[in-house]
Amino acid sequence: MKHFLHIAGLNPFDLMPFLDHGLEFIKNDLQPLTQIPLKNRLIFHAFFENSTRTNVSFESAALRLGAQVIHFNVHTSSIHKGESDYDTFQTLLHMRPDAIVLRHPHAGAAHFMAQYASCPIINAGDGQHEHPTQALTDALCILDKKGSLAGLNIVICGDILHSRVAYSNIMLLTTLGACVKIVAPPPCIAPALENLDIEVFCQLSGEILETTDVLMLLRPQMERIHKYLPFPTKTIYHQLYGLNAQNISFLPANALILHPGPTSRDTEIDSWIMDNHPAVCIHHQVLCGIAARMSVLHVLFHS
């Protein structure tokens, strides 16, 4: 595999090296598996959209593997002088990086740019399309805690329509044999779900929670909701789609609670639950995120 652009279309054999190496990196406390495997490699970070976790975890992953990283900062770039994203990208390509980690607000941007690139392109999120390394992160977190994905009941709850994390996770988790259910406010249900064999619900009820092994909460993607709020108020969202003091008791004791971050406290998750409940894996996901990105870099540079 030359680039890492999407989860859709990958089969378990494609995914296995990323998961196996990722789990090894977690077990190895994020230490490289061999001495400085990416020595003398130069990786560019081209983030055309904001990021905390993805950006820093890609950088930690690259540095831990011995590579060097250069950040292209869109806010101080010639894009503000009218240069197109395409020309900016071509400029970066001609500086001969060994890989480019690209985040862009437009769906398909990473695929488009990859056509022109002789070095690996890694999709760090393209609009509301895919976020493949986040799905890998979440799968590693579940595998690390549960040992397997096959047969698990995984509920993804929130703004599915605008979330690239939802789509990549649905693709990855179902490919590896998990049973995925979706809970979302009706305007946030993606039409593409109709073509997939997935149950969709309009409320995070006790009945759904009772049989849940993993609950993945996603925030309303306010930066992509330009016209009407797809739910009446944040308080009502919290009652119907959030994990709160009323519905948490239905969740089995051994269930996991995941959230890719950033969280909106007291909207998709009650603040007290987020800080205190033992099932919450949000901080473990951060660690798994570094392992996932180390794994992607490792596999791309060694295949």
Note whether 164 binds ligand NCD by CB under 6 A.
yes
- Between residues 145 and 224, which has the closer beta carbon with respect to ligand NCD? 224
Of the residues 260, 268, 280, 291, which one makes contact with ligand NCD according to CB under 6 A? 260
Distance in Å, CB of 76 to ligand NCD, minimum: 21
Instruction: Transcribe 23-51 into DSSP letters.
Output: HHHHHTTT--SSSSTTTT-EEEEEESS--
125 scored as a contact of ligand NCD (CB under 6 A): yes
Q: How far apart are CA 70 and CA 47, in angstroms?
A: 11
Q: Judged by CB under 6 A, how many residues of this single chain contact ligand NCD?
A: 11
Nearer to ligand NCD, 175 or 285 (CB): 285
Residues 6+ apart with CB under 8 A from 171: 6, 7, 8, 10, 135
Rounded to whole angstroms, how far apart are CA atoms 23 and 72?
A: 30
For ligand NCD, the binding residues in 65-104 under the rule CB under 6 A are: none
SS3 of residue 301 by DSSP: helix
Nearer CB in complex with ligand NCD: 164/298 = 164
Least separation in angstroms between residue 293's CB and ligand NCD is 11
The correct pick among 45, 64, 129, 219 for binding ligand NCD (CB under 6 A) is 219
Shortest distance, CB of residue 151 to ligand NCD, whole angstroms?
A: 26
Cβ of residue 133: shortest distance to ligand NCD, in angstroms? 8
DSSP 246-273: TTGGGS-TT-EEE--S---BTTTB-HHH
Helical spans, DSSP H, in the chain: 12-27, 53-64, 85-93, 109-114, 132-146, 164-175, 206-210, 234-241, 271-276, 282-302
CB-nearer residue toward ligand NCD: 219 or 238: 219
Residues with Cβ < 8 Å from 290, sequence gap 6 or more?
25, 30, 57, 60, 61, 64
Q: Which of 123, 134, 169, 267 binds ligand NCD (CB under 6 A)?
A: 134
129 touching ligand NCD, by CB under 6 A:
no
If binding is defined by CB under 6 A, does position 127 make contact with ligand NCD? Answer: no
Closest CB to ligand NCD among residues 41, 45: 45
Closest approach, Cβ 125 to ligand NCD, in A, equals 5
Which of 44, 66, 16 has the alpha carbon at shortest distance from 122?
44
Q: Which of 245, 292, 301, 303 is nearest to 21 (CA)?
A: 292
- 6 lies in the site for ligand NCD, by CB under 6 A: no
Q: Among 45, 104, 129, 131, which residue interacts with ligand NCD (rule: CB under 6 A)?
A: 131
- To ligand NCD, the closest distance from the beta carbon of 259 in angstroms equals 9
Residue number with CB closer to ligand NCD (26 or 165): 165
Q: Measure the CA dihedral 292/126/46/95, to 10°.
A: 100
Q: Does 212 bind ligand NCD (CB under 6 A)?
A: no
d(CA 185, CA 240): 8
Contact residues: ligand NCD, CB under 6 A: 53-54, 125, 131, 134, 164-165, 219, 221, 260-261
